Structure 1
Amino acid sequence: MRNMRLAAALALVFILVTTVFLGGCGQKLAVAPQQGGLQGLKKLKVGLVFDVGGRGDKSFNDAAYEGLEKAEKEFGDKIEIKYLEPSAGGENRERLLRLMAQDKYDLIFGVGFIFTDSIAKVAKEFPQIKFGLIDGFVPGLKAENNISCLLFREHEGSFLVGAAAAMQSKTGKIGFVGGMQSPLIEKFETGYIAGAKYINPNIGILSDYIGTASDAFKDPVKGKELTLKQIKDGADVIYHASGASGIGVLEAAASQQKFVIGVDSDQSLPAKEDQRSFVLTSMLKRVDVAVYETIRSLVTQKFQGGYQEFGVQENGVGYAENQYNKELIAANKAKLDELKEKIIMGEIKVPTSKEDLK
């Protein structure tokens, strides 16, 4: 009987100890979900592959980096970022994308339309990974696809700076220097011509392209040469859409005390002090906004495939105004803002190609 009572007592102690132990574990497990659990501790991985010119081009790539940097500052507790530079000719774009995909990145950006074929291929091989394609178009995408094409209405922003160039010109001639001759860069040129002609139907416009391959975006020597030629032919305001080649455009224009219009980023900010006064404005192409918003959609679990478009109305394109050029464009600001509003309201429909322009 005594043994039975002892056994019962030991069993009761065992039950009590087990209950307390499991209860304690239950309390610990209850806290973990409130902190996000083990999954919540794992940061999302965001990668970006620059195009030729890379970081430091003071243009397209730098704008993409600004968006990446802003996202890291805002969501640093939720994401980790990495960026890669392609080889000089950009031949290893696809390999860099695949390296990040194999490393299980959650979102990977390709900066530039030249990434189109590579992203389409790698995204098919890694359907669980999301891709942001800047300026490229993959046909037939839907919201459930893992590619989001980030597109811009560059022609709208170029229309505004074309108007600014025509209002500023004293010679009645302005210039355009494009990087790689392609339908995309021709959108810049078309909008610029349309804006200038809207202000002055008789204005002369000189257009030149640096080349037909992607290395045209990193040839400042050629950019300088073409700009000097246009100035010699009478142009006193030159707009460039040529990536890092624009460094040569600005250098040439400033040396001749002529105005230049930058592209993508506000190019008066990184310009040398003796060049800033010759940057009339820049056509802002808010690649930073597109990159940031895409990362935000990933963090908030609202990422969608398909096509996202950024124009004047979405603050995706526009013109730069800062402490360096404020006085330069002050006399024409009211007109520029009027044109901006007309584009938003649909009163002005900016052409996208040379055929539409005609």
Structure 2
Amino acid sequence: MRRVSKLSQVAVAVASLALAASACGKTSDEASKDDGKDKGSAGSSKYEGKGIGLAYDIGGKGDQSFNDAAYAGYSKARKEFKIGGVDMEPGDGESSADKVQRLEQLARQGYDPVVGVGFVYAPAVQAAAEKYPDTTFGIIDDNTVKADNVVDLVFHEEQGSYLAGVAAAKVTKVKHVGFVGGVDIPLIHKFEAGFVQGVKSVDPKIEIEKRYLTEKPEEGGFSSPDKGQNAASGQIEAGADVIYHAAGLSGQGVIQEAGSQKKWAIGVDSDQYKQKALAKYKDYILGSATKDVGGAVYDLTKSVVEGKPMKGEQRYDLKSGRVGFADSNPKYTAMKDVVAAVEKAKEDIISGKVKVKIAP
């Protein structure tokens, strides 16, 4: 399900970067067309970088979820600060060395910050940051990379997932819901833990189907809509009438299957009700447990442009507004008791009355 982008028409320096990157990924067709003339025009004399370097996670741009959220922040920052940028796709079956090469090329070309979208970039960020100490690197969903020029952008995913669980428990008509995780790893366990706790807070007797698509990221758990569709089909057949996914691009299959069978689906990361690729099924997207990956990318870029780069771990939660539950579907907002229950749960988490688990 990989979408391979065409090389954009960029300035010579960026074109050289794209050609050199042929062994370790492709630049997006949305890469900057005017990086050269944008250089340094960020409204701050302190900024001397070429713009943002963004390296996508598994599933790539167009996943309608995690990667697209990062792209939204990248685009907003480029527009607001009038800077250039290059966003790059991962290659099929690439190695850690490929990721290192990609990040080092971005830093060498003068992009600052350079952001690895996803925990899989941890070793690459560690290596590239050591080689380019004057460049600020960001990594999303990982807090293991420790260096003066590395910012760990992490989220309390379990909090948004708790709200998703409350919503699911309030709308199920059969006291039976489902969770589909992309890959069986600690990060996705946080989504499951929050969801299950949220469901049980409403009704401990509700039955919960659980399914992980793969054991390892490279097996397609985050990039295979067909796997998501099959998992959702099985959970619906087992009796679930609401399914929450934390599966990246694979989640499209979950939403499509739930929608086609007129069951509720709950999206993740981005507000999936608004995604064009899922428009056919949006009436059945109850809401989405969001984490503002785009906002984190924007925050990091702003700090670099203003000459005061972030440092260390930046953790976002419900209180910060970078984690939440999207309520774009009018059918959801019309269910006043559901909305009230979710809002009450949000208040309880922010106040500390409710502590959300991070492991099942």
Shorter chain as denominator, the TM-score bin is 0.7 to 0.9
Structure 2 distance, partners of 1:205, 1:103, is 49
Contact 1:279–1:325 (8 Å) recurs in 2: no
When Rg is computed on C-alpha atoms for both structures, the one with the higher figure is 1
Structure 1 distance, partners of 2:338, 2:272, is 19
Give the superposition deviation at 1:75. Answer: 0.6
Structure 2 distance, partners of 1:200, 1:313, is 25
- Aligned residue for 1:343? 349
TM norm structure 2: 0.83
TM norm structure 1: 0.84
Contact 1:52–1:90 (8 Å) recurs in 2: no
Q: CA offsets, 1:227-278, max 9 Å, x none?
A: 0000000100000000000111011101111010000001111154431110
- Aligned residue for 2:271? 266
CA RMSD of aligned residues (A): 2.0
State whether structure 2 residue 84 is matched by structure 1 residue 80. Answer: yes
- Aligned residue for 2:59? 53
Identity of aligned residues (%): 39
- Aligned residue for 1:201? 204
Give the superposition deviation at 1:293. Answer: 0.6
Q: Which of 88, 105, 112 is residue 106 of structure 1 equivalent to?
A: 112
How does 1:1-358 map onto structure 2 within 5 Å?
42=48, 44-76=50-82, 79-91=83-95, 92-138=98-144, 140-141=146-147, 145-214=148-217, 215-270=220-275, 271-327=277-333, 329-354=335-360
Q: 1:123 to 1:210 in 2, by over 3 A?
A: same
Give the superposition deviation at 1:328. Answer: 5.2
Structure 2 distance, partners of 1:339, 1:300, is 37
Structure 1 distance, partners of 2:186, 2:257, is 26
Structure 2 distance, partners of 1:298, 1:112, is 20
Contact 2:52–2:86 (8 Å) recurs in 1: yes
Q: Match for 1:234: what amino acid?
A: G
| SS of the residue 1:129 aligns to | coil
Structure 1 distance, partners of 2:42, 2:309, is 20
Contact 1:110–1:119 (8 Å) recurs in 2: yes
Q: CA offsets, 1:207-244, max 9 Å, x none?
A: 10110222210011111001000000010000000000
Contact 1:174–1:235 (8 Å) recurs in 2: yes
Which runs of no fewer than 5 residues in structure 1 stay unpaired?
A: 1-34
Question: What is the total number of aligned residue pairs between the two structures?
Answer: 315
Q: CA offsets, 1:138-193, max 9 Å, x none?
A: 2555xxx0000000000000000100000011111100000111000000000000
Q: CA offsets, 1:282-336, max 9 Å, x none?
A: 0011101111111111111121221000000001111011254444543311121
